[in-house]
Homo-oligomer: A and B are copies of this chain.
């Protein structure tokens, strides 16, 4: 496995950021399942970092770097799952009507989240624990800001 070439490819391709699925062919229930899967995995990799920022989990620099990188990829995955067709799903969802009723605000919340993740990734390799914990807090705030308006209270 040529890891150097592999990783260069990863960086290049994610920079493109093009549409990646033929949404018209995807069932509403599948859209919901896929977006929920992305949220589940964001929680998997963000959770330990949030614990570090809150002092509940021992700080580990390698985990911050690795989980931030995976969160970067995952942060690109939920959004096409909220396509209008997904409103026809009979699957259980906590998404509020505001997702489709206030698309500009929803889009702005996504961009706010992407900025927060980018800020975390930017410091995730540096070994500056305080800066990383601050950036982790920023991501948590961005998650919560979107959940506040666009997800049913849990």
Q: Give CA–CA (A20, B63) in the complex, Å.
A: 5
Is the pair B66, A20 in contact by a Cβ cutoff of 8 Å?
A: yes
User: Which residues of B are found within 8 Å of A110, using beta-carbon distances?
Assistant: none
User: Which residues of B are found within 8 Å of A1, using beta-carbon distances?
Assistant: 114-115, 118
User: Which residues of B are found within 8 Å of A130, using beta-carbon distances?
Assistant: none
Is the pair B66, A122 in contact by a Cβ cutoff of 8 Å?
A: no
Is the pair A10, B57 in contact by a Cβ cutoff of 8 Å?
A: no
User: Which residues of B are found within 8 Å of A121, using beta-carbon distances?
Assistant: 5-6, 9-10, 13
User: Which residues of B are found within 8 Å of A105, using beta-carbon distances?
Assistant: none
A68 at the interface (CB under 8 A from B): yes
Interface string of A8-22 (1 = CB under 8 A from B): 111111111111111
